[in-house]
Chains A and B, each alone.
Chain A
Amino acid sequence: MFDLDLTRILSDLIQLINSIPIPMLGVGAPVEGREEVDIISVLKFTGIFLGGIGAVFGIGLAMAARRFATEVDPRVEEVLDVLAHAHCGACGYAGCQQYAEAVVLNPEIAPNLCTPGGAPTAKAIAHITGKEMIEVEPRIARIFCQGGFSKSLRRFKYEGIEDCRASILAGGGDKSCIYGCLGYGTCSRVCPFEAITMSDDNLPIVDPTKCTACGKCAQACPKKVIEILPSAKEVLIRCHSKDKGADTKRNCEIGCIACGICVKVCPYNSPMVENNLAGIDLEKCRVCGICVRKCPTKAIMDYIPSRPKAFVTEKCNGCAICTKVCPVNAVSGELKRLHVVDPNKCIGCGICTSKCPVVAITGTFNYMGVAKAALRKEKEKTEETEITLV
Chain B
Amino acid sequence: MDFNKLLELIISASLINNFVFTRFLGLCIFFGVSRKMETAVGMSITFTSVMVISSALSWLIFSYIMVPLDITFLKIVIFIGIVAAFVQSADTIMKKTAPTLYYKLGIYLALITTNCIILAVPLINVREEYTFIESIVFGLGSGLGFTLALVIMASIREKLELANVPRPFRGLPIAFIVTGLIALAFTGFSGLITL
Contact = CB atoms under 8 A, between A and B. Distances in A.
Interface of A: 27-31, 41-42, 45-46, 49-50, 53-54, 57, 60-61, 64-65, 68-70, 94, 98, 161-163, 165-166
B4 interface: no
Contacts of B61: 53
B42 interface: no
Given A68-B92, A68-B93, A28 B73 contact: yes
Contacts of B78: 49-50, 53
A163 B92 contact: no
A45 B85 contact: no
A28 B70 CA distance: 9
Interface of B: 61, 65-67, 69-75, 77-78, 81, 85, 88-89, 92-93, 95-97, 103, 162-164
B165 to A, nearest CB: 11
B70 A60 contact: no
Nearest to B104: A94
A50 B65 CA distance: 11
Given A98-B103, A161-B164, A166-B162, A70 B96 contact: yes
Given A29-B72, A30-B72, A98-B103, A53 B96 contact: no
Nearest to B61: A53
Given A61-B88, A68-B96, A31 B70 contact: yes
A69 B162 CA distance: 45
A61 B164 contact: no
Given A54-B81, A161-B162, A166-B162, A64 B70 contact: no
A162 B162 CA distance: 7
Contacts of A46: 71, 74
B162 A50 contact: no
A98 to B, nearest CB: 7
A64 B71 contact: no
Contact of B93 (A31, A54, A64, A165): A64
7 contacts: A29-B72, A31-B73, A45-B71, A46-B71, A49-B65, A50-B74, A70-B95
Contacts of A41: 70
Nearest to B97: A68
A30 B70 contact: yes
Nearest to A38: B70
Nearest to A28: B73
Contact of B85 (A49, A60, A165): A60
Nearest to A63: B89
Nearest to B90: A64
Contacts of B85: 57, 60-61
Closest 6 pairs (CB-CB, A-B): A28-B73, A68-B96, A27-B73, A57-B85, A28-B72, A45-B69
